[in-house]
């Protein structure tokens, strides 16, 4: 969950570890905004050659920013809700860097916030399409390359909202991401591939340039959204939202060689809320 509606400490400065990803080729999806953008900045600052994937043209601005800072970065626009888009993005990533050492699947996010009985059938389908299929498709598209290499890391971004109010379809989608992570880890381990995930909690982020869905307008819609905010804070032992840097730190750690004995794990990053 990403929002700007709950109090959090001032954004902490990145604790970058230069050289941690030297010689590594990384792919970050959903890299134009939010957590994906924070991850792209950090992993490139730590030495990775990065391919940034997003359906928004904003991703090209991010790549230009990283190149200006001295990183090796390229950008790809793709619709990862479709397998063809995932295949094309993976092909461009391999063409750019020759391999994929790290795949970070960050696409997803709640579109609507309301009790389940108020969701229309097409809204349920859209939520699943948005928050499960991009990870399913991109894992499938990248896996042959990782198997051929005999090495690689996949970090999926899930959510502790698998146990949360007013977004049942999103919760179901992220539950699918958790199951994918744990099951694929079993299959991938013999090939030298680790598959892990983080489960972010509420995260302070700037206002999105590309909205996930309609803003709450009616008083009832605002009340339903406030219930999500209240539950998120109350479920956190630290009683606050996290920062983008706190989310990126966990993701990049799991992607690094420091986490070489961790696979099949979903790590909650939610101030003590285990989801």
Of 13-17, 93-97, 106-110, 161-165, minimum mean pLDDT range: 13-17
- Check 170, 225, 241, 261 and give the catalytic one: 170
User: Is 9 among the domain residues?
Assistant: no
* Alpha-carbon span 104 to 106, nearest angstrom: 6
User: Is 244 among the domain residues?
Assistant: yes
User: Is 1 among the domain residues?
Assistant: no
User: Is 2 among the domain residues?
Assistant: no
pLDDT in tens, 56-102: 999 999 999 999 999 999 999 999 999 999 999 999 999 999 999 99
Nearest to 149 by CA among 188, 196, 177: 188
Alpha carbon distance, N-terminus to C-terminus of the chain:
12
User: Is 5 among the domain residues?
Assistant: no
pLDDT at 201 over 60: yes
Residue ranges making up the domain that contains 141: 18-269
All residues at 6 or more sequence positions from 71 whose CB lies less than 8 Å from its CB, including other chains? 44, 45, 49, 50
- Provide the percentage of residues in the chain whose pLDDT is more than 70: 95
pLDDT at 10 over 50: no
CA atoms within 13 A on the CB side of 240: 10
Q: Identify the band that residue 207 occupies on the pLDDT scale cut at 50, 70 and 90.
A: confident
User: Is 4 among the domain residues?
Assistant: no
Alpha helices in the chain (DSSP H): 34-45, 58-68, 83-97, 121-131, 133-149, 168-188, 219-235, 244-255
User: Is 11 among the domain residues?
Assistant: no
User: Is 167 among the domain residues?
Assistant: yes
pLDDT in tens, 16-60: 999 999 999 999 999 999 999 999 999 999 999 999 999 999 999
Please say if 225 is a catalytic residue.
no
Q: Identify the band that residue 236 occupies on the pLDDT scale cut at 50, 70 and 90.
A: very high
Q: HEC string of 21-38?
A: CCCCEEEEECCCCHHHHH
- Give the CATH number of the domain where residue 156 resides: 3.40.50.720
**Which pTM was predicted?**
0.93
How many structural domains are present in the chain? 1
């Amino acid at each position: 969950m990403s929002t700007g509606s709950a109090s959090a400490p001032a954004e902490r400065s990145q604790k970058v570890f230069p050289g941690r990803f030297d010689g590594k080729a990384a792919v970050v999806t959903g890299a134009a905004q939010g957590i994906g953008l924070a991850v792209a900045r950090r992993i490139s600052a730590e030495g990775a050659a990065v391919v940034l994937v997003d359906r928004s043209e904003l991703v090209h601005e991010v790549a230009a920013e990283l190149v200006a800072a001295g990183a090796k970065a390229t950008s790809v626009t793709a619709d990862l809700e479709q397998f063809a888009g995932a295949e094309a993005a993976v092909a461009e990533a391999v063409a750019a860097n020759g391999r994929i050492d790290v795949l970070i699947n960050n696409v997803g996010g709640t579109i609507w916030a309301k009790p389940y009985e108020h969701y229309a059938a097409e809204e349920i389908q859209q939520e699943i399409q948005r928050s499960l299929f991009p990870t399913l498709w991109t894992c499938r598209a990248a896996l042959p390359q990782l198997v051929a290499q005999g090495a690689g890391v996949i970090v999926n971004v899930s959510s502790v909202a698998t146990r949360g109010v007013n977004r049942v379809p999103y919760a179901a989608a992220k539950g699918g991401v958790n199951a994918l992570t744990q099951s694929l880890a079993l299959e991938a381990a013999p090939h030298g591939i680790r598959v892990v995930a983080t489960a972010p909690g509420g995260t302070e982020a700037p206002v999105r340039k590309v909205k996930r869905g309609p803003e709450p307008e009616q008083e009832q819609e605002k009340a339903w959204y406030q219930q999500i905010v209240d539950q998120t804070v109350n479920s956190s032992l630290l009683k606050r939202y996290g920062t983008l840097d706190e989310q990126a730190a966990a993701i990049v750690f799991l992607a690094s060689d420091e986490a070489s004995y961790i696979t099949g794990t979903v790590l909650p990053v939610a101030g003590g809320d285990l989801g």
